[in-house]
Structures are given as C-alpha cells and as structure tokens.
Amino acid sequence: MPWIYAIVGLLVGTLLGVIISRLTTPDYKKQKSVQKELDTAKFELEQQKQDLADHFAQTAEMLDSLGREYTKLYQHMTKTSSELLPNIPDQDNPFVKKVTDQSKSETVIEAGSDESIDQAPKDYASGATGLLKEQKKEILDSDQVVTARAS
C-alpha cells in the first residue's frame, strides 16, 4: 500500500510542478503576449482591408457622379453656346463637333451592344484548323515558291 501512496504523490507532485512552472515561466508569458499581439495585428489588417474596400466603393460612386455631372455641364454649355451665339459657324463652336461625335459614338455603342447579344461569339472555328488538322501540307523548294506564287 505504501507504493500506491508514493505513486499518487509522485503524480500529484508532477502535475503541480508542471502547472506552477508554466505559470511562472517568462517564455509562457511571452508566448501569450506574442499571441495576443498577433491576434491584434490580424484584426487591424482585416479592418484596414475593409476600410480600403469601402474607400474604393465610395470613390467609384463619386467618380460616377462626377462623370454624370460633367456630362450635364457639357450639355448645358452646348445648349447655352448655341442659344447665346446663334450666328456662330459650326466650325468655330467647339461644342457642336464634340456633341455630334459623342452622339455618334453612343449610337455605335448601343448598336454594338444589341448585336453582341443576338450573335454567337466568334472565337470558335468550324472543324479542325492549324496543327490539329490532319491534312498534309505541300513542301516547296525555294525555286518552286517563286513559280507557285506567280501562278
């Protein structure tokens, strides 16, 4: 029976020794503080990523608004220039040419977008072409090339 008390005492002593050494060891405390700093740094990084994404979304919205306002201003300038200077020739009016070019490009873009929806993509070839085509190619000598191109 004294052997059992000795073994139990040894196990309890070992367990208490491990717990006390882990709590008082500076490396354990340092590991905990480094882990806490790592978690903090990860949180800050995620926060910065979110802030950056929000910033880019807001910037894109502002640029879109700026583009609409610029278009609105340009149309106003075109309208007022034709109203205030009705007798000015078209070649001297800087707004008339750009407005007609812009309306033509918008018409082309709208027409192109309608066609692209109705048509199939043209990035395919019917049948095998190039290296995968099983057709023997004719090999010509240099003097035959001149006569082959001429005929």
Going by pLDDT thresholds of 50, 70 and 90, the confidence category of residue 47 is very high
DSSP secondary structure, 24-89, as one string: H-HHHHHHHHHHHHHHHHHHHHHHHHHHHHHHHHHHHHHHHHHHHHHHHHHHHHHHHHHHH-TTS-
In this prediction, residues 18-27 reach a mean pLDDT of 78
pLDDT of residue 116 exceeding 90, the answer is no
CB 78 within 8 A of CB 102: no
Going by pLDDT thresholds of 50, 70 and 90, the confidence category of residue 34 is very high
What is the structure's pLDDT at 82?
78
